[in-house]
Amino acid sequence: MKIQILLASTLLMSATTFAKPITTNSSTSEQVGYSFGYLMGRSNADSMKDLNLEAFIQGLREAAQGKDASLTDEEMARILTQYKKQAEAQQLLELKKQAETNGKIGTAFLAENAKKAGVQTTASGLQYQVLKTGTGKTPKMSSKVKVDYEGRLIDGTVFDSSIARQHPAEFQVNQVIQGWTEGLQLMKEGAKYRFFIPSNLAYGQIGSGDIIEPNSTLIFDVELLQVLP
C-alpha cells in the first residue's frame, strides 16, 4: 500500500492536468499515471464520491514533496473522525429506509404468493411449493445433508447457485438460515421444493453481501439429494 501511494504521489508531482485524452500513443508516464489513477478511483468510487478531488490531489502532492501540511495532524484526525461518523450515520439512515421499503415489498409479495395453487404456508411464515416429491429419508435438525440449490431475489436476480457451479453443497441442517432449517425437515431424499423465505427467516435487517439487501424476501429451489451418514 505504501509503495502504491508513493507511486501515485510521484506520478501526481510530475503530471499536469491533461486536457487531452490518454491513449496508447501517449507517453509511458502518462499511460501509467492515468491507469493507476483511474483504477484507484474506480476501486474507491464510493468512498471518494463526496471528496473534493482537487484538494485530495493537493494534499497527496504536498505530502509527497515533503511540504508542511496546512492542517495539523490533530486537526486532520478530528476532521476525518467527524467525517467518518457523519458517513456512517448517513449509511445507517439509508439502510433503514432500504429495509423498510424491502419489508413492505416482501410482505406484499408473500401475501399474493400465498394465494397461488400449491403454495403452503407454515406457522413461522415460511412458504413452500413441492416441485417433486421424494421417497427417501427426512433429515433432522442435527442431520448433515447434500443438496443442489439456486437462490434468487423476488425480482429474479440469482445470487447463489450450486447448480450453476455443478457442485452440490453439504452442510448440517441447523447451520443455515432459519428458513432452510425448517424447510429441509419437510423434505424427503429425492424431493425438490421451492421455498419462499420471509426476511426474518433469512438474513433479516442486516442482509448479506452486496446483493441481498436488508429485509429481503428470498426464493430458493432446493433438491435434497441425500441425508448423509
Q: Would the pTM count as exceeding 0.85?
A: no
62-98: pLDDT as tens digits: 888 889 989 999 999 999 999 889 888 988 888 899 9
Which grid coordinates belong to 193?
A: 421444493
pLDDT of residue 9: 47
Mean pLDDT, rounded, of the chain: 89
pLDDT of residue 53: 82
95-129: pLDDT as tens digits: 899 999 999 999 999 999 999 999 999 999 999 99
Tell me, yes or no, whether 141 and 49 share the same domain: no
Tell me, yes or no, whether 55 and 110 share the same domain: no
Tell me, yes or no, whether 46 and 105 share the same domain: no
Average pLDDT over residues 30-42: 85
Q: Which of 149, 193, 195, 196 is catalytic?
A: 149
> Per mean pLDDT, which of 14-18, 87-91, 136-140 is the most reliable?
136-140
* pLDDT above 60 for 17: no
Alpha-carbon distances of 155 from 66, 159, 216, rounded to whole Å: 53, 11, 11
Q: Which of 159, 163, 171, 211 is catalytic?
A: 159
Tell me, yes or no, whether 56 and 113 share the same domain: no
Residue 84 located in a structural domain: no
Tell me which residue of 186, 189, 173 sits closest to 226, measured CA to CA.
189
* pLDDT above 60 for 61: yes
Helices (H), the chain: 2-14, 28-43, 45-48, 53-64, 73-113, 162-165, 178-184
Q: Which of 148, 177, 193, 212 is catalytic?
A: 177
Tell me, yes or no, whether 59 and 18 share the same domain: yes
Note down the domain range covering 20: 2-64
163: how many CB neighbours lie within 10 A of its CB?
Answer: 14
Q: Which of 196, 203, 212, 219 is catalytic?
A: 203
Tell me, yes or no, whether 172 and 216 share the same domain: yes
Q: Which of 64, 87, 107 is the last residue of a domain?
A: 64
Which grid coordinates belong to 50?
A: 463526496
Tell me, yes or no, whether 189 and 115 share the same domain: yes
Residue 79 located in a structural domain: no
Residue 86 located in a structural domain: no
User: How would you classify residue 84: left for phi > 0, otherwise alpha for psi between -120 and 50, otherwise beta?
Assistant: alpha
pLDDT of residue 19: 54
Q: Is 221 a catalytic residue?
A: no
Burial class (CB in 10 A: 0-12, 13-18, 19+), 110: buried
195-205: pLDDT as tens digits: 999 999 999 99
Tell me, yes or no, whether 217 and 135 share the same domain: yes
Residue 76 located in a structural domain: no
The CATH number linked to 178 is 3.10.50.40
Tell me, yes or no, whether 141 and 185 share the same domain: yes
How many Cα atoms within 13 Å fall on the side-chain side of residue 2? 0
Q: Which of 160, 195, 197, 219 is catalytic?
A: 160
- Tally the domains of the chain: 2
pLDDT of residue 169: 97
pLDDT of residue 98: 92
Q: Is 160 a catalytic residue?
A: yes
Q: Which of 48, 64, 80 is the last residue of a domain?
A: 64
5: how many CB neighbours lie within 10 A of its CB?
Answer: 13
Tell me, yes or no, whether 33 and 144 share the same domain: no
Q: Is 149 a catalytic residue?
A: yes
Q: Is 159 a catalytic residue?
A: yes
Tell me, yes or no, whether 136 and 200 share the same domain: yes
